Amino acid sequence: MPTPRFLTLDDVAEILNVSWSQAYALVRRKELIAIQIGGRGQWRVEVDELERFIQQKYAEARAGTVPAEAAPSDTPPEAVDQDVDTRS
């Protein structure tokens, strides 16, 4: 079976070991580029885009840079993104 070109946000969340809402937040903030498909606007992330995102995060870690929105805060991680799961 060939490797799929596109991943769902569930797939992305599983690969990154984060919640669906955290994966969605990456897309919403345009840190991870995704497209909407179909009448219900379901998000799809191209495998190459996910790999680019991961490599960018490694490059930031090597350089010791942390984007402003990822800087530590007093807000607990589970309270940062309270989006409602709109999946069907």
Separation between Cα atoms, residue 33 and residue 44, nearest integer Å = 9
Separation between Cα atoms, residue 2 and residue 4, nearest integer Å = 6
- Model confidence, pTM: 0.69
Q: In residues, how long is the chain?
A: 88
Q: How confident is the model at residue 12 (pLDDT cuts 50, 70, 90)?
A: very high
Q: How confident is the model at residue 86 (pLDDT cuts 50, 70, 90)?
A: low
The residue-averaged pLDDT of 35-55 equals: 95
What is residue 36's three-state secondary structure?
strand
What is residue 46's three-state secondary structure?
strand
pLDDT of residue 51: 98
Looking at the domain 6-64, which fold is it? Multidrug-efflux Transporter Regulator; Chain: A; Domain 2 (1.10.1660)
- State the DSSP H helix or E strand holding residue 20, giving kind and residue range, or none if neither: helix 20-28
